A and B are shown apart, each in its own frame.
Chain A
């Protein structure tokens, strides 16, 4: 297979624009997913009986093919970005909710009781003790959700939402391998870069986590 380096050189600008659209389409749903998962996860810990049904629903959603979800939402949101982002948000829940629940579960009973005994109220304990301790596990979930969202969102081009999915579909219509390959490689690079950024964020947020011994 021949790669048309000349085409790539001529199109770096367009490819870059597509990459930006792509990452925005992919990561906004993860952000929304996180905003939903935090209260959902808290509720599931507060009312244990809630967790099993919530988990089942989010897993069932994950099992629905994306195309089917697009078709469903087109009826309501038309050919807009929302039609791509809503399904991706729903998908992210199946990873994020369990991780929020597990993250909060990582707070040991002695720590919880010590906090109570020191005079933390429920909300203050949540914000100052429980959530910070849950951060590593929550971010681990965000990494999985972000990477899978970056690869899934390519299909958004089916309803004309652009991004690097455009180059893959366009390339296959024209049987132009270079364009397909360039877009695919970019998607992988975006995923790797996002993951690396998240790892750094986690290290900055949790200098205390065992994975990294800070010499002091």
Chain B
């Protein structure tokens, strides 16, 4: 655990970069520092590895003051990733990654072996080992930067806007891989970003910094969205706070309806009265949406509109499901299980009735205690068409 105890940093020119910051970054978790530019995020990060010495207060790692350790020694046990990777242009990729092992005097063979293993871990082709950084794309360089920070297997990783210099598609990719990697490695990570979406996606805890180096709020992302501490945090989180809250609502408790699900062998007439039906094959894999009114004969031969986005029932969030509902011609989100078989469909109202940690769920529950009854009612109705079994 990394502990900030009343840390203040005042630069010689009078700038207060950190103002009495107290904070805990739990072991094995990702703590994200987010906030306005100049809010002191980088400064706070650098007090951990002593690249910045606090004017007052102290920083502890597992209870020990970082000032009791020699900077170079301390830093070799803390991985560090920066925005523009900061790779050494004169060293090959493998030697860049093996930087800290070399400093720790591992033998060359062991250091390179570790480097090669890490290249695979972060999704780099091992054939790149002998290349130089300028021969890599920005996204690849960033992966090398992450591998380099991980090379000596430090328990702590500091990451200063590591993904902000790459395009959004690559960024999303890097974020997903980063989460996958963290699920295996369980490092204590402090991650700086100015992007609130990134903070919410990656953080187990999110710390919001305001200009002047004031720490305004530290909370789990869903609590931050639901209960911003003040106007500043609310403003920083932005307009789509409600929708974002749904990203933390689970689809596990959702009751999916089979009403609109029909087997391909069913006749269009069976579905009379329904605007759209979801046609599935013998394994309940979705074939597409059909309009019964326009068809005669078996639905398998109907003109089908592709299903497009679906959501994994129980695994994806309500936000993903809602997205699928909005994109579907029928206005219904298609829930599938891990094999891709259709579990059922849900409409926008069903999705919004799911309780969330946040205001959205609470509001729904409070304002209409009777309303939730509306949803099960439909799910309980006899299933028409019987999916042709």
User: Which residues of A come within 8 Å of B, CB atoms?
Assistant: 108, 110-111, 113-121, 124, 129, 132-133, 135, 206-208, 210, 213-214, 216
Contact A119 to B72, CB < 8 A, known contacts A110-B82, A129-B88: yes
Check A118 against B100 for contact (C-beta < 8 Å): yes
**Complex interface residues of chain B between 23 and 78 (CB less than 8 A to chain A):** 49, 51, 71-76, 78
Q: Which of A115, A119, A124 has the most CB of B within 10 A?
A: A119
With contact pairs A114-B80, A210-B134 given, residues A119 and B88 touching in the complex (Cβ less than 8 Å): no
For A125, give the chain B residue with the smallest CB separation: B72
CA distance A63 to B130 in the complex (A): 47
- Chain B residue numbers with a CB within 8 Å of A216 are 130-131, 135
Given the known inter-chain contacts A113-B82, A216-B131, please indicate yes or no for A118 contacting B99, CB distance below 8 A: yes
B109 in the interface (beta carbon within 8 A): no
Instruction: Check A110–B73 contact: CB distance below 8 A.
Output: no
Q: Are B86 and A119 within 8 A (Cβ)?
A: no
Query: Which residue of A has the minimal Cβ distance to B74?
Result: A119
Q: For A117, A129, A132, A208, which residue has the most chain B Cβ atoms within 10 angstroms?
A: A117
Tell me if B211 counts as interface (CB < 8 A to partner A).
no
Whether the pair A133, B131 counts as a contact (CB closer than 8 A) is: no
User: Is B147 interfacial (CB 8 A cutoff)?
Assistant: no
Are B82 and A114 touching (Cβ within 8 A)? yes
A131 shortest CB reach to chain B, Å:
10
Q: Quick one: given A110-B82, A110-B84, A208-B89, are A116 and B134 in contact (CB under 8 Å)?
A: no
Contacts of B158 in A (CB 8 A): 117
Least CB distance from A10 to B in Å reads 50
Q: Is B217 an interface residue (CB 8 A)?
A: no
A111–B84 CA distance with the chains assembled, in angstroms: 9
User: Chain A's nearest CB lies how many Å from the CB of B127?
Assistant: 8
Supply 27 A–B pairs (Cβ within 8 Å), ascending by A.
A108-B84, A110-B83, A110-B85, A111-B86, A111-B87, A111-B88, A113-B51, A114-B85, A114-B87, A114-B145, A115-B88, A116-B51, A116-B75, A117-B75, A117-B158, A118-B75, A118-B99, A119-B75, A124-B103, A129-B88, A132-B90, A206-B90, A208-B90, A208-B91, A208-B132, A216-B131, A216-B135
Given contacts A114-B82, A207-B132, A213-B135, 18 further A-B contacts (CB under 8 A): A108-B86, A110-B83, A110-B86, A111-B88, A114-B86, A117-B51, A117-B82, A119-B73, A119-B74, A120-B72, A120-B103, A124-B103, A132-B90, A133-B89, A135-B90, A208-B132, A208-B133, A216-B135
Complex CA distance for A216 and B125, rounded to whole angstroms: 13
Q: Write the nearest CB–CB distance from B340 to chain A, whole angstroms.
A: 42
Q: Which residues of A contact B132 (CB under 8 A)?
A: 207-208, 214
Give the complex CA separation of A93 and B100 in angstroms: 37
Question: What 8 A-B pairs have minimum CB-CB distances, sorted nearest first?
Answer: A114-B86, A110-B86, A117-B80, A119-B76, A119-B75, A208-B132, A119-B72, A110-B84
Instruction: Give how many B residues have a beta carbon under 8 Å from the other chain's beta carbons.
Output: 33
Shortest Cβ distance from residue B138 to the other chain A in the assembled complex, whole angstroms = 13
Q: Who on chain A is nearest to B77 by CB?
A: A119
Cβ-defined partner of A113 (8 Å) among B86, B87, B91, B130: B86
One digit per residue, 1 when the CB lies within 8 angstroms of any chain A CB and 0 when it does not, for chain B 124-167 equals 00000011111100000000010010000000001000000000
Complex formed: what's the CA distance from A210 to B135 in Å? 9
Q: B49's closest neighbor in chain A, by CB?
A: A117
A133 with B86: CB separation less than 8 A: no
- Please determine whether A118 and B82 come into contact, CB atoms closer than 8 angstroms: no
Is B103 within 8 A of A119, CB to CB?
Answer: yes
- In the bound complex, residues from chain B placing their C-beta under 8 Å from that of A207 are 132
Q: State how many angstroms separate the Cβ of B51 from the closest Cβ of chain A.
A: 6
Q: B255-281 interface mask toward A, CB cutoff 8 Å, 1 = contact, 0 = none?
A: 000000000000000000000000000
In the assembly, what is the distance between CA of A121 and CA of B74, in Å? 12
Smallest CB separation, B154 vs chain A (Å) = 10
Contacts of A114 in B (CB 8 A): 80, 82, 85-88, 145
Q: Chain A CB within 10 Å — which of B49, B73, B86, B132 has the most?
A: B86
A129 to chain B: closest residue by CB: B88
A79 to chain B, nearest CB (A): 45
The CB with the most chain A CB atoms within 10 A, among B78, B88, B90, B103, is that of B90
